[in-house]
Structure 1
Amino acid sequence: MTDTPADFSAEVSGALMMANLTRIAGWVKLSGTAEELEGLRFLEERMASYGWRTAIEMHDAYISLPSAARVLVDGASIKAITHSFSLSSPREGLSAVPVYLGHGTAEDFAGKDLRGALLLLEGMATPPVAKRATQAGAAGQLHISHHEHIHEMCISPVWGNPSGATRNDLPRTVVGSVSQQDGAAIRDALAAGKRPAVTLHADVDTGWRKTPILVCDLDGPGGAADPFVLLSGHHDTWYHGVMDNGSANAGMLEVARLVAQRHGAWRRGMRVCFWSGHSHGRYSSSAWYADEHWDELDRRCVAHVNVDSLGGKGATVLANTKSTAELRRLAAEAVQRHADQVLKGTRRGRNSDESFVGIGIPSIFGSISAQPHQHEQARNALGWWWHTPGDLLDKIDEANLVRDTRVLLHGCWTLLSEPVVPLDHGATAATLAAELEQLTPSLAERFDLAPIISEVATLRALATAIDERRDASPAAALPAANAALMRASRALVPIDCAEGDRFTHPDALPLAAWAPLQPLRALATSTPGSADEKFIAVDAVRARNRLVHALREATAALDEARQALGG
């Protein structure tokens, strides 16, 4: 009988993780720098000592490193930072009386001539706001932090390295951020009818660099061709980045140490990757790896276990950790067992090196724990020190780090050791069914949803039949059944979590659930009998075809899995 995660979760060593983390904390790991590579060599040494086969892959990445920044208000200097993928300012700075634009929502931008303007905006600098500002022809953005701390940010919406098709989507504004107090003073002056002269100076080094990825492997029982579980997290940091992402790297090392000691009980292999370019290249390493290793990942990768920012001081909420629908049941089990909390089932977002959902690889975790209170606009669930110089060793709670690592270990070991891979495609089908239920009242007399609804029902029934056979499956049936379950993911995950194109990466912008449904949602809100309705209906038919095709591919795969398992 193999170990369960509960059998050896007590072996997670807080002392060893803190010792490793103390070493990791010694480097400032900006993407593509010699110091980053030095820190990665330490991780490589540790992984090799635990019995893993290691290699460092160097690749070209489009990296943006912010440097000096300052802001003058009527000639007086205030503290400021600039951001990754901001333009550098002219030598004399970018000067203007700012235009206050609230939080920079689409509604805030609508109907305004902002060409050449310096925008004053509430909240942290983000890709959606940078994209709107660029499209509006603004010259610059000055963001007001929600508190006294100013957070480093990457503002590019382009996922991974820019291509010939996406390079024009990079931001084309000069961007800076100031504290709440300093920014509020500018905002209040504008509101009082004054015209403060603001000059933004920003120096940003953007260009192609060689960046490293540490890749560590242990094969499954069948050797190097076996399917594998991918465990990954970024290694690059802002400043010393002890929580983000040093603590996750320490947790990855600990999981790798413990599962390697039980290598004989594995059902499949494992690959552990430490990425560069997360913070300064918009997930450039994981996106490059997905592109360059697409065929291998498509054929062999069972699931992606992502990990970020473990063990933060005061991080007591684990109910919001994310997963794709196929792995939500596993995430809920891990969180319940090791934190005694009920998972709320938050959807996977477009962030955190999730470069593999387009291929069709299910994903689990990311940031496992968070602060109990967060400001919705500030997105500071990871603590005030996140992306600031304050992210140091004193922000780690060893007990929280142990707890989070036990959750991580539970997910990894279950994926490694279960005879039938724990992919719950019925849960995926249920989320699509819920979306269709919302559309049915508006489209019932206007558009035929029956082909999609029928395929969803068939998929759910097959998933139920597979669940009933998981524990009584003959060993000879497992390879075929598991391969079929993976093929079902390849059909479902891209239309659930990406846009349905398995060979590109959607932008790092909010993406609706089941994005291929968007034409049907547009049709549901169109005016019946209008010309717009007829145009939109063309898109809706094509969207229905795409969904039905993907569902049929998944259904065929699940039917093969059911038959292999004795159904």
Structure 2
Amino acid sequence: EVRGKIAITEGLSSPTVALRFERAGTIGQIYVNPGERIHESTVMPVCGTPTPEDAKLKPKNPVVDVNRATGEYLLKLMENSKVVVTLRTELKEGWFKCPLIVAEIRGKDEPEKFVLLHGHLDSWYYGVGDNATGDAALLEIARVFHKFRDRLKRSLRIAWWPGHSTGRYAGSTWYADHFALDLLENCIAHSNCDSPGCKWAYNFDEVMWTPEAEDLCKEVIREVAGKETKGLRPERAGDYSFNNLGITGFYMLSSNIPEEIRREKGFYPVGGCGGNVAWHTPEDTLEVADPEILERDIKVYAATIVRVLNSMIYPFNFLRTVDELIRWTEKYSQEVGEELDLSQVLEELHLLRRDMETFYRMCKEIEERKDFEKAKKVNEVMLGLSRILVPLYLCERGTFEQDLAIGRPPIPLIADCVLLPRMERSDEYMFLKTKLIRGRNKVISSIRRARNLLRRIIGS
């Protein structure tokens, strides 16, 4: 029972845990970080400026992080007696005018179509690994792409965001709001550049992308860095503020320190600096960066982006996305059993996959005969697919909204179905089941919209 008390828990502070504690009635929270360092963070669950509805979710508890030694001292005191703790926090909240820097290198054939490359400008303390290295990467890519701009078919837009931590992605969400229609109509993909080029970051084991970008990213990393890589589903983090708009995304954190080196150095999981525990502390200084690794990582970003900008047909494989949707729907269906019938969702997904296979056979033929006009139409279909399938995979809210910065499983509209078998037949059960039925309807409708897009181009 934590109501009316200060909660103390192990780990780094996070909005998911903080919200859970606050809903349970805590009056304050203390997070015991795993090591000797105290990591700055934010527990705000709302991305960017809140709406009137989301403003109610602003944290009310004072929240502090302490290091392991302080935490163990407090926990030891609690073993024998009641402990009284005084928390004092200082919060500066308000409206601030912030610099949001955007560079654009125009392509010569389809200048209106663009890739958005971005990273956050603000940092905690010196913030070399998170994110001065990323800012330098963006600047170097801007320099090189501008130099060779006459060789670009499409445009590259580069943005440096303010308000990453302190505003919970304030810059990128502001941009998503104010340039939503341009992004919706013309953004081919976005790529986040956070914490590249850090010392000992030899591997690419924790790279994020939406599934349709997997083949492209693996191929580039293999060719440029000579590394095999594992992909992760993008979290609602790292200025991935374009999921609701349905924009394909690749990269967030790039290279990482191998697990064996982290174990050797006593590192624990953190959210940047390639896995270095200097992340979000005063120790994130020049020693955290490695110029050679940064150069390699910049080449990975540049090679990936140029392939998107100059390919005849966008190099995205939405069969990967559909396969992920099928995999997770099958998992949910097994877990929920007869509590919620997902058979129609699976049936529609398999029909979508069949149409998608036909579509990609057509794409191959178009490339072979170099039919540039037909390729443009195919690319528009791919943008349409991303606008439907990316939100279906990642989002719960609508196109022009922002999901909360809390962990959600894939296909959020139906993901909570796994809770039904563990619930009593109560009002809460019926409320949730009704929500899930509506979510299932939205999922099926989205799949059918994607099929209609494909059938129109296949039949033309």
Among residues 436, 442, 451, which one is paired with 1:546 in the alignment?
442
2:230 is the counterpart of 1:344: yes
Give 1:467's match in structure 2, choosing from 349, 354, 360: 360
Aligned residue type for 2:300: V
Q: Secondary structure at the match of 1:151?
A: coil
CA distance in 1, matches of 2:85, 2:353: 59
- Asked whether the 8 Å contact 2:270–2:276 carries over to 1, the reply is no
Is 1:114 the counterpart of 2:7? The answer is: no
- Name the SS of the counterpart of 1:230 in structure 2: strand
2:145 aligned with 1:259, yes or no? yes
SS at match of 2:60: coil
Q: What residue number does 1:392 align with? A: 285
- Confirm or deny: 8 A CA contact 2:335 2:418 kept in the other structure: no
Per the alignment, residue 180 of structure 1 pairs with 68
In 1, Cα distance between equivalents of 2:57 and 2:337 = 38
Structure-2 separation of matches of 1:290 and 1:272: 14
Alignment check: 8 A CA contact 1:113 1:136 kept: yes
Which whole-Å deviations, capped at 9, do the CAs of 1:449-484 have from their partners, x for residues lacking one? 343223212222233233333332401112211111
Equivalent of 1:451, from 324, 330, 344? 344
CA distance in 2: counterparts of 1:460 and 1:516, whole angstroms: 20
1:109-508 matches, cutoff 5 A: 112-115=1-4, 117-191=5-79, 193-222=80-109, 224=111, 226-373=112-259, 382-441=275-334, 448-468=341-361, 469-470=363-364, 471-472=367-368, 473-508=370-405
Deviation at 1:237, TM superposition (A): 0.9
Residue 195 to residue 525, structure 1, CA distance change in 2 (3 Å): closer
SS for the counterpart of 1:206 is coil
Measure the CA separation in 2 of the matches of 1:195 and 1:538.
44
The answer as to whether partners of 1:485 and 1:557 remain within 8 angstroms in 2 is: no
Q: Is the 8 A contact 2:197 2:293 kept in 1?
A: yes
Q: Separation in 1 of the partners of 2:220 and 2:106?
A: 25
Task: From the two aligned structures, give the one with the greater strand fraction.
Answer: 1
SS in 1 for 2:354: helix
Contact 1:424-1:463 within 8 A present in 2 as well: no
Cα 1:161–1:133 change in 2 (3 A) is same
**Amino acid across the alignment from 1:253:** L
Could you tell me whether the CA contact under 8 Å between 2:413 and 2:436 is conserved in 1?
no
User: Higher helix fraction: Structure 1 or Structure 2?
Assistant: 2
| Number of equivalenced pairs | 449
In structure 2, give the amino acid aligned to 1:557.
L
RMSD: 2.3
CA shift digits 1:207-257 (9 cap, x unpaired): 111112111112232465x21111111101111211111101111122222
Residue 500 (structure 1) shift: 4.6
Write the distance in 2 (CA, Å) between the matches of 1:500 and 1:218.
32
> Equivalent residue for 1:86?
none
Which residue identity lines up with residue 385 of structure 1 in the other structure? A
Give the Cα–Cα distance (whole angstroms) in 2 for the partners of residues 524 and 461 of structure 1.
32
Q: Give the Å deviation of 1:443.
A: 5.9
> Whole-Å Cα distance in 2 between the matches of residues 560 and 319 of structure 1?
39
Report the alpha carbon displacement of residue 408 of structure 1 after superposing the two structures with TM. 0.9
Corresponding residue for residue 88 of structure 1 = none
The alignment partner of 2:232 has SS state of coil
1:441 Cα deviation after fit = 4.0
- Using the alignment, how far apart are the partners of 1:546 and 1:403 within structure 2? 42
Deviation per residue, 1:375-434 (Å, 9 max, x gap): 666557521111111111111111211121121112111111111112211111100111
Name which one, 1 or 2, has greater alpha-carbon Rg: 1
Which one-letter code corresponds to 1:262 in the other structure?
A: F
**Residues in 2 aligned to 1:534 and 1:182: alpha-carbon distance in whole angstroms:** 45
Return the alpha-carbon distance in structure 2 between the equivalents of residues 265 and 342 of structure 1: 29
Deviation at 1:522, TM superposition (A): 3.8
* Structure 1 residues 500 and 550: CA distance shift in structure 2, 3 A: farther
* Partners of 1:478 and 1:560 in 2: CA distance: 14
Distance 1:255 1:183, change over 3 A: same
| Residue 539 of structure 1, CA deviation | 3.4
The separation in 1 between residues aligned to 2:68 and 2:326, in whole angstroms, is: 44
Residue 366 of structure 1 aligns to a residue whose secondary structure is coil
SS at match of 1:273: strand
- Residues 510, 448 of structure 1: alpha-carbon distance in 2 compared, 3 angstrom cutoff: closer
In the alignment, residue 538 of structure 1 is paired with which amino acid? T
Correspondence 1:512 to 2:398: no
Give the letter aligned to residue 208 of structure 1.
W
Whole-Å separation in 2 of the counterparts to 1:179 and 1:449: 46
Q: CA deviation at 1:114?
A: 2.1
The answer to which of 132-141 and 490-499 deviates more is: 132-141
Separation (CA, whole Å) in 2 of partners of 1:137 and 1:531: 23
- 1:521 paired with 2:410, answer no
Q: CA deviation at 1:185?
A: 1.2
Q: Secondary structure at the match of 2:346?
A: helix
